[in-house]
Structure 1
Amino acid sequence: MSVEEKLRDLNLQLPPPPQPAGSYTRAVQSGPLIFISGQLPLLAGQIQYAGIVGEDLDVEAGYAAAKLCALNALSILKAETDDLDAVSIVRLGGYVAAAPGFTAHANVVNGASDLLASVLGDKGIHARLAIGVASLPLGAAVELEVIAAVG
């Protein structure tokens, strides 16, 4: 089953690739690797999950934010490669705007990891880090960076 078919089976639709919010490009390819700039939980140019996880948002909302970030990353990969079946995720970096004392960063970033594994299968399993930070651009609750391989 193709990645596009898996997306449909999961009732997921890739959003249009988000535009950079600053002086950078959305992705850079070096050899077989594609480095995707930090993805926020944006939809139609608007942050969908803003605030601090563990204060303004619960873990479930953070999980949903990470999932949306991953969908945005997949959208960029689709635009860059035109073939998601040729893509595998190498590394995922998840940054969570977290309240002091919050320790469930991994549970939040699982939203992205679970989505990538369900859509890409074994090609979606990756190395990962999950870090708590005081704030993120545009007040986002989560930011995701992705390194993918093509071919």
Structure 2
Amino acid sequence: MSFDQDTQPAGNKSPEQRLAKMGLTLPPVPSAVGAYEPWVRVGNIIYTSGQLPWIDGDLKYTGKMGAELSLQDGYEAFRLSALNGIAQLKSAVGELSRIKRIVRVEGTAHTTADFTEQPAALNGASDLINDVFGANGRHTRMIYSDPAMCLNCATLVVLWAEVAD
């Protein structure tokens, strides 16, 4: 079980309270950049489309890890992509406390052929999700690499989340 700085179990706070304690606010929900839905609900599962490291309509991280970007840049880019994914989840359910479980995180990293630290970079997304959702954030995951990403973005994150009825 994780504990916050006040030594209270993290599970006693809502995801929105945890975000606030971390000094984070959810960004405006990014709109689709193509002919698709930003998220879809099937039964009790919400699937987000790929979320990029947007801030106010601009990509904060572009380029390849192993070239223009460091591992730390990749970590921060995945963290920001996940924050945009969390904003999509909130738009789907209203209150993040309705998320029963983050089931899966899939990340795609824009990398050079010799960059091999993709799992450590994807921890930017996993760490944020675990901090925001506590035990309900523990998830499976998959990391992919791509030598050419849309819009030259550094990262892309897809979330699968179970919703409580």
Q: CA deviation at 1:31?
A: 0.3
Name the aligned partner's letter for residue 113 of structure 2: P
Alignment TM-score, normalising by the size of structure 2: 0.90
Q: CA deviation at 1:67?
A: 0.4
Whether 1:40 and 2:52 are equivalent positions in the alignment is yes
2:97 pairs, out of 72, 81, 85, with 85
What is the number of residues matched between the two proteins? 151
- Higher radius of gyration, 1 or 2: 2
Percent identity over paired residues: 36
Partner of 1:69: 81
Partner of 2:10: none
Partner of 1:95: 108
In angstroms, what is the RMSD of aligned CA positions? 0.7
Q: CA deviation at 1:18?
A: 0.3
Name the aligned partner's letter for residue 80 of structure 1: A
Q: CA deviation at 1:85?
A: 0.9
SS in 2 for 1:132: strand
SS in 2 for 1:40: coil
Unaligned runs of 5+ in 2: 1-12
Partner of 2:120: 107
Q: CA deviation at 1:135?
A: 1.6
Q: Deviations over 1:94-114 (max 9, x none)?
A: 100011111000011100000
